[in-house]
Amino acid sequence: MPSANAANRLMKHYLGTARTLPWRAAPGTNAPDPYRVWLSEVMLQQTTVTTVTPRFNRFIERWPTIEDLAAASDKSILSEWAGLGYYARARNLIACAREIAARGSLPNTAEELRKLPGVGEYTSAAVAAIAFGERVLPVDTNIRRVAARLFAMEQPTDSQVRDVMTPLIPTDRAGDFAQALMDLGATICRPAKPLCSRCPLAPDCTAFALGQPELFPRPKARKHRPHRHGTAWWTRRGDHLWLVRRPDHGILGGMAALPGPDWTDTPHPHGPALARIRHVFTHFSLDLDLVSASEPVGDGWWHPVDDIDSAGLPTLYLKAARAALATPLFDAAA
């Protein structure tokens, strides 16, 4: 079991090594703006800090308060989100911002935060701890790995992690404790080749004492990922390309896109493809064939080809557009 001063050693280590991030406050200082904490936690779900940081800064520059974000149009927010992936997060972000603005402020407890659209166990705990100092533990991948090694747990559940780690949370530094664990997992207690000699928790770590820290946690069995097929129509007139907006619900909901039929489990019959794009989503992979079409399909708009990066296309369709523009067959489709 961790000794009584394990948390103190972690806090001291964090004081000198904390990552400087635009949504954080320095260790031991006043809590950061709750809006920044909430926005960053939504963006960081299944997305790296490196990817999120510049996008977070753009969001804050464009919408400096949650009221500004709540007043923005769906289209502008979804366009700004393009490329971050997991677009259900963006739709929940919009609904959540508007509900918070109507309430007047973010709730300050994990229990109340969980009542907001799209806010689950992790996000509610992260915001409650970091922004409001509630003594709760957000369990992300990094914290789960630290706990698994500290207590030599092979596949701990989130509940088990909270049970063993919550007693270590300092009464008045819940936010710093959570972020210290996140940083420890990201920089020292890494999945492979952990830097145990630099870890402030090494004296208390059961996996380190066993000499096999990388065995914890035991990896989960990989699930089979289905493969699907799609077609996107490339319709160009002069210097403009025909784009549409996907339905509000479902994958890539509400995002700008190239038109095309629903994705299926078998290939679509069509003519010669300008390009084929392989894209991997969380639960399936997709081959998207880009096919020339003479007439626009669906309700949409003409967008300048030379400004395609500003169209708000998600990664899948931006890759497809760039591939078409790079192929010799493109001239025949113009």
| pLDDT number for residue 328 | 65
| 82 contacts: CB under 8 Å, gap ≥ 6 | 255, 256, 311, 312, 313, 314, 315, 318
Phi and psi, residue 287, nearest 5°: -100, 120
pLDDT of residue 29 exceeding 90, the answer is: yes
In this structure, are 209 and 264 located in the same domain?
A: no
Per-residue pLDDT tens for 204-250? 999 999 999 999 999 888 889 999 999 999 999 999 999 999 998 88
What CATH number does residue 63 fall under?
1.10.340.30
Same domain, yes or no: 170 and 246: no
Residue 54 lies in a domain: yes
Domain presence at residue 221: no
Verify that 40 and 182 share a domain, yes or no.
yes
Per-residue model confidence (pLDDT) at position 332: 44
Q: How confident is the model at residue 330 (pLDDT cuts 50, 70, 90)?
A: low
Is residue 143 a part of any domain in this protein? yes
**Whether residues 126 and 147 fall in one domain:** yes
In terms of DSSP bridges, do strands 227-234 and 285-292 run parallel, antiparallel, or are they unpaired?
parallel
**Model confidence pLDDT, tens digit, residues 269-296:** 998 998 999 999 989 999 999 999 999 9
Q: Which domain holds residue 252?
A: 227-333
**Are 174 and 280 found together in one domain?**
no
> CATH code at 237?
3.90.79.10
pLDDT of residue 176: 97
Cβ contact 76:97 at 8 Å: no
Q: Could you report the per-residue pLDDT of 60-69, keeping only the tens digit for each?
A: 999 999 999 9
pLDDT score of 302 more than 80:
yes
Q: Looking at the structure, do residues 39 and 72 belong to the same domain, yes or no?
A: yes
pLDDT in tens, 155-186: 999 999 999 999 999 999 999 999 999 999 99
- At residue 333, the pLDDT reads 45
Q: Please say which residue of 187, 215, 243 terminates a domain.
A: 215
pLDDT above 70: residue 112: yes
pLDDT in tens, 64-83: 999 999 999 999 999 999 99
211 and 325 housed in the same domain: no
Residue 220 belongs to some domain of the structure:
no
Q: 276 and 244: one domain?
A: yes
Contact 105, 119 (CB under 8 A): no
Domain boundary (188, 215, 242) is at 215
Whether residue 240 contacts residue 304, with contact meaning beta carbons closer than 8 Å, is answered with: yes
Q: What is the DSSP string of 292-304?
A: E-SS--SSEEEEE
How many separate domains does the chain show? 2
155 and 242 belong to one structural domain:
no
Active site residues: 41
* Domain assignment of residue 50, yes or no: yes
For residues 99 and 240, membership in a common domain is answered with: no
pLDDT band for position 267 (cuts 50, 70, 90): very high
Domain assignment present for 222: no
